[in-house]
Amino acid sequence: MWRNRDLVDLTEFTRRDFEALFKQADVFLEAGLAPTKMLEGKIMAAAFFEPSTRTRLSFESAMHRLGGSVLGFSSAEGTSVEKGESTEDTIRMLDNYSDVIVVRHREDGVMRRLAQLAKKPLINAGEGQSRHPTQALIDIYTVLKEKGMVEGLNYGVMGDVKHARAAKDFIRGLSLFGVKEVNLVTPKELMPEEAFVKEMNNKGVRLNHYERIEDLISMLDILYVVRLQVERFSDRSEAEMLKGSYSITLKTLERANRGLRILHPLPRVWELSGEVDGTPYAAYFKQVYYSIPVRMAVLSLILTDVEMIREGLI
Ligand code: NCD
């Protein structure tokens, strides 16, 4: 059940919660994302302390389509953070102004603290290098729509898995659906930290490591690509050296299985060539489209009793 819950950490939810959410997303999708009055009078605050285009705007679009309204900021610039106000105090303010708070922040571990502070539900819209739960929900929903299942497919995750929260939460999400093996395709410098590997192993997921996409492309059903997270390197010259160290082009796809689907949370830079866009492999723009019904589902299930009504519980 989702009503009034914080969405900070994907692993606090179950496969059943995911399925209930996807059912609600289907309702919005089948209605062609038509506007509703479901959240009329409700206010969503968006507190983005880190840059974002898609996540912030798709949350806003979802809230507008649900009949609610939106306030917030898209960078600390122009807010009292510039005067030295703490993140905690900023969230305390928004707690008074809104019914749900959507937060993005560069510091790992900050969301739990903020969620405990806020009386209103808090949604994690990207936290440091570790978590991005709503992106994972969108990604898994896309896999379901494209392939009709989640378990039983061969997965590759390519790129900067070390720093990309979207890649890590995608793998966490797969683990909740019973996926037992994920193939990481990355230079060894970009392998995730030991703690993440252990966390996944404890969930029964084996992470294999490949350096060359050519060695596994023919067996993949899903390839999830992430950009090099240049802004998260303490030594920028190291990021410079890794530029161009992995990429997907038409040539890479020559030996791909016909049913392969490529996902990418976007933005992309050089790791995914534009020439792939027109092929049946490209699912990343559909992923953008699905972000709306999924975020509509997240907001409506957290802010109303729609789930209980649907299940006949009230
Ligand atoms: C991702 C993010 O911010 O983590 N973007 C997004 O939300 N779609 C991925 C990225 O920045 O590479």
- Nearest in space to 294 (alpha carbons), one of 252, 254, 265: 265
Q: Give the model's pLDDT for residue 314.
A: 64
Residue 268 Cβ < 6 Å to ligand 1: no
Contacts of 114-121 spanning 24+ positions with Cβ under 8 A: 114/87, 114/88, 115/6, 115/8, 117/88, 117/91, 117/92, 118/91, 118/92, 118/94, 119/95, 120/95, 121/4, 121/5, 121/6, 121/7, 121/302, 121/303
Q: Give the model's pLDDT for residue 79.
A: 82
Q: Kindly report, residue by residue over 113-161, the tens digit of the pLDDT.
A: 999 999 999 999 999 999 999 999 999 999 999 999 999 999 999 999 9
CA–CA gap between residue 178 and residue 71 (Å, rounded): 38
For atom 11 of ligand 1, the residue with the nearest CA is 267
Query: How far, in Å, from the CA of 162 to the mean position of ligand 1?
Result: 14
CATH 3.40.50.1370 fits 10-131+291-310, yes or no: yes
Q: 133-288 has which CATH code?
A: 3.40.50.1370
How far from each other are the two terminal CA atoms of the chain, in whole angstroms? 13
For 254-283, the DSSP string reads GG--TT-EEE--S---SSB-GGGTTSTTB-
Domains 10-131+291-310 and 133-288 share a fold: yes
Q: Give the model's pLDDT for residue 85.
A: 87
Q: Candidates 104, 135, 169, 171: which one to mutate for ligand 1, based on the most atoms within 8 Å of Cβ? A: 135
Query: How far, in Å, from the CA of 107 to the mean position of ligand 1?
Result: 15
Q: 241 near 263, Cβ under 8 Å?
A: no
Residue 104 Cβ < 6 Å to ligand 1: no
DSSP state of 313: -
For 192-227, letters b (16+ CB in 10 Å) and e give beeebbebbeebebebeeeeebeebbeebbbbbbbb
CA atoms within 13 A on the CB side of 66: 33
Q: Share the mean pLDDT of the chain.
A: 96
Q: 110 near 131, Cβ under 8 Å?
A: no
Q: Give the model's pLDDT for residue 293.
A: 98
Q: Give the model's pLDDT for residue 276.
A: 98
Q: Which residues pair with 157 in a beta bridge?
A: 184, 224
Instruction: Tell me the domain boundaries of the chain.
Output: 10-131+291-310, 133-288
Query: How far, in Å, from the CA of 167 to the mean position of ligand 1?
Result: 9
Q: Give the model's pLDDT for residue 78.
A: 78
Q: Which residues of the chain have pLDDT under 50?
A: none
Residue 135 Cβ < 6 Å to ligand 1: yes
Query: How far, in Å, from the CA of 166 to the mean position of ligand 1?
Result: 6
Q: Give the model's pLDDT for residue 311.
A: 72
256: tokens are 């791909």
CA–CA gap between residue 276 and residue 250 (Å, rounded): 6
Q: Give the model's pLDDT for residue 310.
A: 74
Q: Kindly report, residue by residue over 183-211, the tens digit of the pLDDT.
A: 999 999 999 999 999 999 999 999 999 99
20: tokens are 């209930």
Residue 264 Cβ < 6 Å to ligand 1: no
Q: 43 near 70, Cβ under 8 Å?
A: yes
